[in-house]
């Protein structure tokens, strides 16, 4: 039995973690942490959990938690996990941080884009970027995993084979992303009210969204040289789902079949990456509720560009599902334990 | 291993059946029946099933199917199941019919409301109305189960204890229901286009919706006398979910505590009926993706009425989930096998 | 030129007032009042007004406003208008209050349902309930108009002819209402976040919604005796629109034609009430953006009940449009000035 | 009084044309053409028009229509207008074609992208591309106007100043567009059902959408050389609205202020193009129901690119509103007659 604590269990990602973990018989959630709802019943905050969870929300006491559980998920705002982590804690429990604190190796880059001082840069080196499709072996041995951002997960997996093989000019890479509203979190902000979001569409974080350096870093490793790109997220009126559409110039002529074979080869062992069939565009509805990333591409002979698309559930593969995938690896379990979730439609 | 055939597997309810059954290791779907998509890959119709289902859609050949599987689900338009069922078939396989063909015991009532001639009235007597909370023992022994309608499931369970105990004047009972659009099926009709449904709300089937006699029949059994009521469904812009709000005059003075105790008592053993806490209104978001029906009530001292509310996922407890619940009973399995689905939110 | 001040111009109803009034050449908005956004440009709060409105938001200074404008609209929380109104102010300007402060004649009823002490009960007697279809002549002469609530407008107009003619047993009257989210206002509350409302449906204010006594009062006048009813509003995922479905037992047998003639007769001179044709159910999409209330009914011969339906845009006829209709009457203008708005679809 | 005929009046664009024109006192709609609903009351197809329009739908008889009206709007599928237009007709009436038949000057390009043979290429030369902001003077004198596509209108206006001034490398131009569902028309197709579109997002027409050559042609005129670009539209769950996000490399260093001044200069006389203030991203909600295109841009110093955004109501400026704008010009009326529509929010 794996004993689990969730810090930030009343946010959307925390709630999704609870949903996924509660379906398992080999995991026990011992701690529903929440800054805002201490001592309130968890099922009064998330009524879907009525008669399923009896626990009350607990304060974020890492020290106590460290003695109680085997793994802590921190689904909290930037800076919190980094301010709590220390050697003693890590000697006792594994930590999977869903915030951005340990995703970026260059602390200066982190501090520039996030505009906060990193509270514990000494652990950045140790932290493993938790994208299992790229870092599986390192994750297995990690004490501290930086769970990737939602956009970076979808973006990186969608273009990785092309970048790794040098098939695109990375300086032409542009990623245009669309996300449902759950990605904005559960804070009571005017901008996220139903009537403000419904029946509308907008770009945000143009040229300065914080996921930009995270994507760049991962693709730089793949390219073996610095990658700089444009990333523009858009908010669209739906609960869940991310779609990314990426554009890049091909560095050499390539046929559909060649690139399809490349993608198939890269992802043939991956259970959670589905390379779609020719001319089938990824759609978020076909991955909702699951840990899948659906990817496909189209070559435009006229312009010499390739258009790459990826669809994902931002709450699952983009957050809680991937965190559980990492947990499985860290505890030596089959990677898909508890994650054989069939997408829900409609 | 239970071998399953689904007739009408490319409708929404058929797709949900597949989703629920595919998560199980003790069930194998042998037949994806579809009138419209014969010989096409099932995963090309429902792309969520890509790399999960390799089968192609098959015609609706009951005879062949009878030799192949242990149970057939018919998620088809009215009249189809009734036209295919026969003694030979029933001697070989169990049938769970998601259409209305065998729900109503009085064939004249069926024919009046559905405006079709019943093709096989001789099996109506044998068919068991598949609402496990009321008919559990009969379902266990049934060869032919009539899976209840979505509105009748939610309505009946919400008001059953009051009717059974004679606590309301049944001639004052009014049920006002609200449903998401998946209940309208996957047919390409103008009225169900996105732009026709979105940002709108309407009543339909006013005073003549076909689920009316089904609800009346079930409540009549509970009351021990004929029940006649008004039932008005409304279409609202969401994919899934049914909410019913029922109104009736109390036949005797009763406190909140008394009626709460009554509901608790009736449903204390039921895993899929959740009686909510005081003043908590059922909401469809808290049951989405699950087999739960959430119910609650409020007494209005001023008017002497009780207002009863029920929320349910029309695709799960209102269709495919309940069908699986019935299958479990018919095969002697724990009733909740494959149905411990935690509601998905958001 | 009518000079107008809007107190609460940054709420949804205030914004809709601005939208309607800005289309007119005989009205000038002199004051965009706002408690939350003082000194900010109105068009920075409502960007639809960019390059249309140059004004900044002003504090709620009634005294100054009284000297500046001909009419003040108060689109503010309960209690504010009542705390500001006084004889001196009313001697200078007309006031149209979109809050509930002056809607209910019995101050004890107001204070019981709204749970606040009325700050200026001395003006309740003078205030005219601004439902032009019922009170046109009084409105023309009024200094202080209580603009009706959204649900009461739709409910009252839908059932008025039946109540007035004694055709229904008013003690059997039940009103089940469904509303879009704009009715909940623009406050940054968790419950109104996109992900909390989208893909869900719930009842609220069951047996205690504040619009209940308002509807009861108006229908009591029509009935010539006290009317007590059940009113249950539901929140549904759309921006605008109210649909009410009302149920009552007919007090005498009546044909469709007789009741249709009755409705036609009552509303034949009314530009904003449309009695639909037989079997056509009102839908909110067909009135969106307009000042119409669409009504229709269905007789259920089986149960002896009549089901009455009404659809309306809660922002227009349910708030700002009706307020402008009242203004037109108070200033001796054609009642539909600026209100010949054709519903927007889709 | 301008007498108007609408061919295709029961499509969404046709309905929007009716809505806009019916608000005017100087226009009379004499002909509601419809292939599908001949002899049915228009208000039975679009119930928002109940008691506003009494006409029945007429067949598409251009000859009769030519004698009856001053201007014909064809809001019909590709090929229809081109098959009906002839010299005699044009000698009698003006034609504003909302289809693509006359938008593209090179008939070979048209036939390649639309995969149909052009029925009347002899009129392509005469037809004027009806984007008033670029072709105002020619439109005034035109007999036949090709009303631009929705995506081309938004795209062209958003990037025009940059292309015209040579500020971007046009071979780096990529346009990623997002559209509401009304753009897909009112045909009863499975893909446009509520449950198929809601809670989802997808790209379509990748590398082969028909609006691509239209945008390229217009921008080629501006650039004075051939422009070839990538254009990818996405379907998102909302009724109305188009958002485009365009990416291009700056051809020379430029400050925000310089480019802002350029946009301001280009559009300072344009009533329907709003250049937003610094860092304000266009959102479709702020233009809904209006004829505005909101544009803005952001320079990314890191990558040397400029990101340009445009938001528009696809039904208004993207179809019916622009058609009316063209009509106004062709009849010598103020260009904004009947188009001073304030965006509706929420």
Model confidence pLDDT, tens digit, residues C7-25: 999 999 999 999 999 999 9
Please write the tens of the pLDDT for every residue from C230-274: 999 999 999 999 999 999 999 999 999 999 999 999 999 999 999
Q: What's the pLDDT at B343?
A: 98
Using an 8 Å CB-CB cutoff, list chain D residues near A229: 303
- What confidence tens digit (pLDDT) does each residue in B237-267 have? 999 999 999 999 999 999 999 999 999 999 9
Chain C residue with minimum CA distance to D45: C286
Over A143-180, what HEC string results? CEEECCCHHHHHHHHHHHHHHHCCCECHHHCEEEEEEC
**Residues of chain B positioned with their CB less than 8 A from the CB of C238:** 198-201, 236-237
Peptide bond into A346 cis (omega under 30): yes
Q: How far is C224 from chain B (nearest CA, A)?
A: 19
Please answer yes or no on whether C23 and D285 come within 8 Å at the CB atom. no
Query: Could B23 and A340 be called an inter-chain contact, meaning their C-beta atoms sit closer than 8 Å?
Result: yes
Name chain C contacts of A181, Cβ cutoff 8 Å.
Answer: 193-195, 198
Q: Which of B317, D90, B274, B60 is nearest to A49 (CA)?
A: B274
Structural contact between residues C293 and C310, judged by C-beta atoms closer than 8 angstroms: yes
Please report the pLDDT score of residue D61 as a whole number. Answer: 83
- State which residues of chain A have pLDDT below 50: none
Radius of gyration of the CA atoms of chain A, in A: 20
The predicted structure's pLDDT at residue A32: 97
According to the model, what pLDDT value does residue B63 have? 81
Contact A238 D241 (CB under 8 A): no
Q: Are D295 and D155 in contact (CB under 8 A)?
A: no
**Torsions phi, psi for A4 (to 5 deg):** -120, 140
Secondary structure of chain D: what % helix, strand, coil (to 5)? 35, 20, 40
Query: Helix or strand or coil: residue B42?
Result: helix
pLDDT of res. A274: 98
Place of tokens 């350096």: A213
Q: Look at A12 and C186 and tell me if their CB atoms are within 8 Å.
A: no
Cα A291 from Cα A273, distance rounded (Å): 9
Q: Which of A57, A150, A201, A281 is catalytic?
A: A150
Percent of chain B whose predicted confidence (pLDDT) is above 70: 100
Please tell me the pTM assigned to this model: 0.98
Neighbours of B70 (CB within 10 A): 18
pLDDT in tens, D143-184: 999 999 999 999 999 999 999 999 999 999 999 999 999 999
> B286–A344: do the CB atoms touch at under 8 Å?
no
How large is the average pLDDT for residues C85-110? 97
Per-residue confidence band for D60, with pLDDT thresholds at 50, 70 and 90: confident
> Which pLDDT score, from 0 to 100, does residue B111 have?
97
For residue A23, the distance in angstroms to the closest alpha carbon of chain B comes to 7
| pLDDT at residue B239 in the model | 98
Query: Which whole-number Å values give the CA distances from A53 to A47, B284, B317, in the listed order?
Result: 10, 19, 21
Q: What percent of chain D has pLDDT over 70?
A: 100
Q: How many CB pairs under 8 A join A and B?
A: 75
Rounded to a whole number, what is the distance in Å from the CA of B281 to chain A's nearest CA?
10
Chain D residues with CB-CB distance to C15 below 8 A: 345
In chain D, what residues touch B198 (CB-CB under 8 Å)?
Answer: 181, 194, 198, 237-239
pLDDT of B188: 95
Average pLDDT over chain B, rounded to whole? Answer: 97
Interface contact D309-A204, CB threshold 8 A: no
Q: State residue D63's pLDDT score.
A: 82
DSSP state at residue C70: S
Euclidean distance between CA atoms D25 and D232, whole angstroms: 40
C115-128 average pLDDT score: 97
Chain CA centroid to CA A23, Å: 20
Tokens of B341: 């689905």
Sorted by sequence, the CB contacts under 8 Å of residue C199 that are 6+ apart come out as: A239, B180, B238, B239, B240, B241, B284, B285, B288, B346, C237, D199
- Round to whole Å and give the CA distance between C324 and C338: 8
Q: Name every chain A residue with its beta carbon within 8 A of the beta carbon of D178.
A: 178, 201, 234, 236
* CA distance linking residue C99 with residue C116, whole number of Å: 13
State pLDDT tens for residues D175-232. 999 999 999 999 999 999 999 999 999 999 999 999 999 999 999 999 999 999 999 9
- pLDDT (average), residues B189-200: 98
Of C51, C274, C290, the CB nearest to D274: C51
In the predicted model, is pLDDT for residue C327 greater than 90? yes
| Residue whose tokens read 């009914």 | C297
pLDDT at B218: 98
CA contacts within 13 A on the Cβ side of C130: 37
Residues in chain C with CB shorter than 8 Å from the CB of D12 are 346
* Residues of C with active-site annotation: 150
pLDDT at C326 over 90: yes
A202 vs D237, D283, D346: nearest CB: D283
Mean pLDDT of B166-191: 97
Confidence class for position D136, pLDDT limits 50, 70, 90? very high
Which of C171, C182, C196, C201 to mutate: most B Cβ within 10 Å? C201
B-C CB pairs within 8 A amount to 151
Q: Which of B150, B154, B195, B281 is catalytic?
A: B150
- Taking only the tens place, the pLDDT of each residue in C35-67 is 999 999 999 999 999 999 999 999 988 888 999
Q: What is the pLDDT of residues A34-64, one digit of tens each?
A: 999 999 999 999 999 999 999 999 998 888 8
Give CA–CA dist B308/B170, Å, rounded: 13
ipTM above 0.90, yes or no: yes
Supply the residues of D annotated as catalytic.
150
Strand partners of residue B97: B74, B146
Q: Does pLDDT of B62 surpass 90?
A: no
Contact at 8 Å (CB) between B134 and B158? Answer: no
> pLDDT tens-digit profile of B270-291?
999 999 999 999 999 999 999 9
Nearest CA in chain C to D282: C47
Q: Out of D181, D195, D199, whose CB is closest to B12?
A: D195
Distance from CA of B287 to the nearest CA of A (A): 6
User: Which stretches within chain A are classed as H helix?
Assistant: 12-22, 42-45, 62-68, 80-84, 87-92, 107-114, 132-141, 150-164, 194-197, 211-223, 256-267, 321-330
């Amino acid at each position: 039995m794996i004993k689990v604590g969730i810090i930030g269990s009343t946010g959307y990602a925390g709630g999704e973690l609870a949903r996924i973990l509660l379906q398992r018989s080999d995991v026990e959630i011992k701690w529903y942490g929440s800054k805002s709802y201490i001592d309130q019943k968890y099922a009064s905050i998330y009524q879907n959990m009525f008669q399923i969870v009896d626990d009350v929300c607990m304060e974020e006491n890492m020290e106590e938690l460290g003695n109680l559980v085997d793994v802590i998920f921190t689904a909290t705002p930037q800076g919190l996990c980094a301010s709590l982590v220390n050697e003693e804690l890590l000697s006792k429990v594994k930590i999977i941080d869903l915030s951005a604190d340990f995703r970026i190796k260059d602390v200066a880059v982190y501090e520039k884009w996030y505009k906060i001082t990193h509270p514990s840069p000494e652990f950045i080196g140790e932290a493993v970027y938790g994208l299992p499709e790229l870092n599986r072996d390192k994750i297995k041995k990690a004490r501290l995993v930086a769970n990737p951002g939602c956009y970076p997960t979808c973006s990186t997996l969608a273009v990785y084979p092309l970048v790794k093989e040098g098939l695109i000019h990375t300086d032409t890479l542009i990623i245009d992303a669309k996300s449902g509203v759950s990605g904005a979190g559960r804070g009571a902000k005017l901008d996220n009210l139903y009537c403000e979001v419904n029946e509308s569409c907008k770009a945000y974080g143009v040229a300065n969204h914080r996921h930009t350096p995270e994507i760049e870093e991962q693709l730089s490793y793949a390219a073996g040289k610095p990658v700089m790109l444009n990333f523009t997220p858009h908010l669209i009126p739906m609960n869940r789902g991310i779609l990314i559409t990426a554009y890049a110039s091909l560095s050499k002529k390539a046929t559909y079949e060649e690139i399809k074979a490349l993608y198939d080869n890269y992802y043939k062992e991956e259970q959670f990456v589905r390379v779609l069939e020719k001319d089938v565009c990824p759609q978020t509805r076909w991955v909702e509720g699951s840990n899948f990333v659906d990817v496909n591409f189209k070559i435009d002979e006229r312009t010499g560009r390739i258009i790459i698309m990826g669809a994902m559930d931002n709450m699952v593969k983009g957050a809680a599902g991937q965190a559980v995938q990492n947990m499985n690896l860290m505890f030596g379990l089959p990677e898909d334990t508890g994650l054989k979730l069939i997408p829900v439609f409609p």
